């Protein structure tokens, strides 16, 4: 109600799009405000036109506003889930509960802003070893690193239903972490010749993968 009345300043009769927790979308209009709720009348449903494949972004936890920015943009770019990675060379090893709750609030706000059909799930922080241990064999698991094959080509060739993209901290993954992922059948993929900041690399990988899926599905 606060978002509709005080942030967007909508009046009764305003057209709305609504998304439920299962990702179904509807059209409707604002009937009225009550003391603790907004009453909306539904008028129809909206067909889903998103990707049928899921992209999960496993990104190293970075400091302060850079991580907030990454969370917001990952939602806008269509990440189904965000897995915060605790890495050997990362600057953050134990994010507080308050910070993790903030990430989920930011994800919710970004979903509203971008009309995302499903809310991006922010997982509990995990190590690369824990991540490597739970990746199913039928997923396309990607380790972003210089020297790997072009990411878009890999996504197009593999045509996986679930894509997991792992991006490291500013100092990159260390050798132990790389070995853990390669032993779990992660595929090396490159993002071009330039050295990228952590959040730039993660968001570029997500955008490239989403674009490759568009080519496959359309």
Please give the chain's pLDDT, 218 residues, in tens.
566 776 677 888 888 776 665 556 677 878 888 888 888 888 877 665 555 689 999 999 998 899 999 999 999 999 999 999 999 999 888 899 999 999 999 998 888 777 776 778 999 999 999 999 999 999 999 999 988 999 999 999 999 999 999 999 988 999 999 999 999 999 999 998 888 999 999 999 999 999 999 888 76
All CATH 3.40.1280.10 domain ranges in the chain, comma separated: 54-217
Superfamily of domain 54-217 in CATH is SPOUT methyltransferase, trefoil knot domain (3.40.1280.10)
**Contact in structure between 21 and 121 (CB atoms under 8 Å):** no
pTM for the whole structure: 0.80
By C-alpha distance, which of 42, 45, 53, 41 is closest to 24? Answer: 45
Cα distance between residue 180 and residue 24, in whole Å: 38
Pairing state between β 81-86 and 126-127: parallel
């Amino acid at each position: 109600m606060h978002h509709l009345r005080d942030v967007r300043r909508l009046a009764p009769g305003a057209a709305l799009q609504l998304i439920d927790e299962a990702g179904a979308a509807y059209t409707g209009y604002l009937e009225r405000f009550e003391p603790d709720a907004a009453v909306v009348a539904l008028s129809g449903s909206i067909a889903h036109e998103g990707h049928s494949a899921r992209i999960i972004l496993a990104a190293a936890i970075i400091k302060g506003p850079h991580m907030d920015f990454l969370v917001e943009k990952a939602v806008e770019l269509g990440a189904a889930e965000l897995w915060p990675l605790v890495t050997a060379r990362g600057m953050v090893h134990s994010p507080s509960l308050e910070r993790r709750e903030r990430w989920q609030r930011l994800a919710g706000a970004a979903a509203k802003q971008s009309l995302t059909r499903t809310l991006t799930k922010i997982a509990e922080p995990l190590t690369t070893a824990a991540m490597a241990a739970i990746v199913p064999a039928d997923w396309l698991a990607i380790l972003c690193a210089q020297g790997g094959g072009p990411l878009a080509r890999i996504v197009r060739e593999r045509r996986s239903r679930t894509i997991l993209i792992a991006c490291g901290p500013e100092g990159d993954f260390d050798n132990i972490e790389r070995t853990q992922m390669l032993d779990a059948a992660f595929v090396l993929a490159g993002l071009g010749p330039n050295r990228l900041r952590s959040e730039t690399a993660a968001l570029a990988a997500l955008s490239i993968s989403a674009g490759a899926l568009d080519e496959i599905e359309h």
